[in-house]
Amino acid sequence: MSDVDRVRWRCRRGLLELDLILTRFMESRYGALAPRERDIFLGLLELADNELWDLIAGRMDLPEADRQAMVDQLRAV
């Protein structure tokens, strides 16, 4: 299994909305991410579904600019 396949598998979530956004992101933007951005994305995948959804839905923001920039990319898909 390739690294991209592993990340794609980690994008599978219990919340349908989250699953759809993460799948679209993988298809449209993941390949163009710099290594640091990929690390940030993987860190966001460590969050619980509800917490990640609250970030993407705009109910929460992150104090770290680089992590918030990744959330903004997720919101844009």
Measured between alpha carbons, how far apart are the two ends of the chain, in Å?
26
Going from the C-alpha of 18 to that of each of 21, 41, 50, 51, the distances in angstroms are 5, 14, 9, 11
Identify the pLDDT of residue 30: 97
Query: Minimal CA–CA distance to 51: which of 62, 41, 42?
Result: 62
Q: Give the mean model confidence (pLDDT) for residues 48-55.
A: 96
Can you give the residue range of the structural domain that contains 34? Answer: 3-76
Residue 54 has pLDDT above 90, yes or no: yes
- Say yes or no to pLDDT of 17 above 90: yes
* Domain count for the chain: 1
CATH (domain of 11): 1.10.150.250
Residue type, 22: L
Give per-residue pLDDT as tens, 57-76.
Answer: 999 999 999 999 999 999 99
Helix, strand or coil for residue 21? helix
Q: What percentage of the chain reaches a pLDDT higher than 90?
A: 95
